[in-house]
Structure formats: structure tokens, C-alpha cells
Amino acid sequence: MYITTVELQDFRNYESLNLSFHPKVNLILGNNAQGKTNLIEAVYLSSLGKSFRTANDVEMIQFGKKFFRVKIQAEKKNEDVCVEMAVSKESKAVKLNGRKIRKISELLENVYIVVFSPEDLKIVKEEPEKRRKFIDRELCQIKPLYFNRLARYKKILLQRNTMLKEQKPKLSLLEIWDQELCEYGSRIIIERAEFIKKLDRISSEIHRNITNGKEKLHVQYEANVPFMKSMDEQQALFLEKIKGALEKDLSRRTTSVGPHRDDLKITINGIDIRKYGSQGQQRTAALSLKLAEIMLIREETEENCILLLDDVLSELDEERQNYLINSLSDIQLFITSAELSEKVRASLPEGKTFYVTEGKIEEEKKCNTESVIESLK
């Protein structure tokens, strides 16, 4: 699948834009703070209905304007997809193929997008929350039910934490929240465990290829509530753990048990690289995880995803740049950068190049050799 066009109105620093893309490579070049990332942020909205940069939709409205509008069209194997979104300070409306949707989960499983930025290169060494977001972002794309369960779990968790902060929490109400938290949390744990098992298999193979077999990557689920194979066992264990932590939770006024405390353990040759890995090992592991994410989407959906490389090539050495580019010849790429070497540009498949200056975009025109020769006759 691939994005064909994007239309923007009052989105970030774009007052008005209508752009057509190449199904293979789209280079988006320009100095910093000109709007390169803003453009691919708009493209990303068609996938999950939200930004990969901010949780607040209103931040994407151009300064001084009342709303923004985005329209993205894509082509898949058997159908065309059109996603439209309009956001004001008071409301958010999303249409899929001309039909207004009630829930964002209805948007999922239509446009599959993976974003890879310099922040993702830090995913291995930074706090567990970044690794949980990495897991959740992927699972939400391929499993709309997971998206709904995660949203419900977060809402219950917020309500429970609010009650824990009260001067005299009602234990009878806490028990009700505990039952619901265990139900939705257990489903999340089981989904994550299955996903991470697949992620480990694919990323290990990719990492072995990148390092020419010198290193063995292993990704392991560190579940706050240990994973159990059946739903009944999972819920029973969750409930036991959360009841056992009640005194601590009342003292700290927050919930200490559940998948909101999960993490990924990432090792190379048995060494935990979150703490002891070199920067090169951590970056290679992050690259392996991102490429595994792309392959997982293909495996689960039988569709190629779209990859947004946001100023990340300059962060990789030449060997890893080449591996990344050679691995992605069959999917649509959006590459933002201040500049790309001629060597890198020559290694890319065919495509289009756009130059961004202060929210204005100009497409690079290819020289037509035949017309030049004809004009010289």
C-alpha cells in the first residue's frame, strides 16, 4: 500500500497544501524548523488518528487559526482509502471513505504506518514507558480490539488512582475498579506476550544479519504481573497481586501493579544492553526492532506498511544506512533530512524529491534528457 495524496489546511505551519507522492521514495529536504516533520506527521494521522509527536490534537492547529483539516488518500491491494480529519479546540471529526466514524478504533486496519525517528534510536536505553509505547503503537495498528482494551484499562487506572488520592478511599469501590482492571489488564498482558514472542523471533534474525552473525539479540517480556497461558489464571494472579499491594498503593496513592508497569528486557549475547550496551549496540538493536515492526505488519495483515524516516539516516553510520535502505525496496518511504549525500540518494529506489521552506513545498523537476537533445537540434 502507499499514500497517493495529502491535502492540508491550517495544519502546523502549512496554510494550504495539496501534494501527490511517489509510491516508492519521497525525499523531503530542507533546513530545520521549515515543516518537514509537520508534513509526515499529517500523513501519520491516517494510521492511528493521532500524532506521533503530541497527545494534544489542538497543538497541530496553525497559530491564530480556529481549526485544521487534513485529507489523506491511499491505495491498497483491493481498495482505495480516504481519511479526513478536522480538529478545532472544541471538537474532532474523522471520516473514513466519506463516512463519519464514531470511534478511532474504526480507523485502524486501513493505513499501516511505521515512524522511525532519532527518538526511536534511544528506545533501548530510555525509560520503560518508551518501550511500552513502542509495543502499544504496533498492537493498536494491527488489533483494534487491543486499542479499545488499552483505552478502557487506562480509564479505569485513572479512576482508581484518583480514588487512592482521596483522604479516605472507599475500599468497596476500589474492589470494583480492581475487578475491571484485572479483566482488561489480563487481556493486554496476553496480547503483549504473544506480540513480543513474534518480535523476538523476527528482530533476532534481522540483528544477526546486520552484525554478520557476531551478536545474538533477545527480546523478553518483563511483565509486572507474570504471564499466564489462560485468561482465568491471568486474572486470578492479577487480582491476587493487586490485593497484596493494596496497603502499598494506599500509602503511595498510586497503582503499583499492572501492565502500565511492564518493560522489555533487551539483551545481546546475554548482556542487558539497556544498562551495559554501547551506543552502537543500542542503536543497532533499535534498528532491528523497527525493521521487525515492519515485517510483523506484513506477516499479520499481508499488507506492506509505509515507513516514515524522520531525520534518522544522518544518525546511522554508512553500513546501517545501507542495510536499512536495502531492506525497504518494496515499501513506500518518506525520508526527511536537512541534506542527503549523493551516495545515499543514488542507492535509493526511484521517487520524488521535495524541498521545504517555511511551510512551502517545491518539487524537484527531473531533467528530461530527450527533450534537451531535441531542443539542441
* Annotated binding residue 31: yes
Which residue blocks in the chain are alpha helix, DSSP H?
A: 36-48, 128-142, 144-164, 171-210, 231-244, 246-252, 273-276, 279-301, 318-327, 342-347, 369-376
Q: Which of 346, 370, 369 is nearest to 25 (CA)?
A: 346
* Annotated binding residue 223: no
* Annotated binding residue 37: yes
Q: Give the DSSP per-residue string, 3-51.
A: EEEEEEEEETTEEEEEEE--SSEEEEE--TTSSHHHHHHHHHHHHHSS-
* Annotated binding residue 353: no
* Annotated binding residue 30: yes
How far is CA 42 from each of CA 60, 117, 273, 316, rounded to the nearest angstrom? 9, 15, 34, 25
* Annotated binding residue 148: no
All three cell numbers of 252: 503511595
All three cell numbers of 350: 526511484
* Annotated binding residue 269: no
> Which residues, in sequence order, are bridge partners of residue 354?
28, 363
Which residue ranges are tagged as binding site for ATP? 30-37
Sequence ranges of the binding site? 30-37
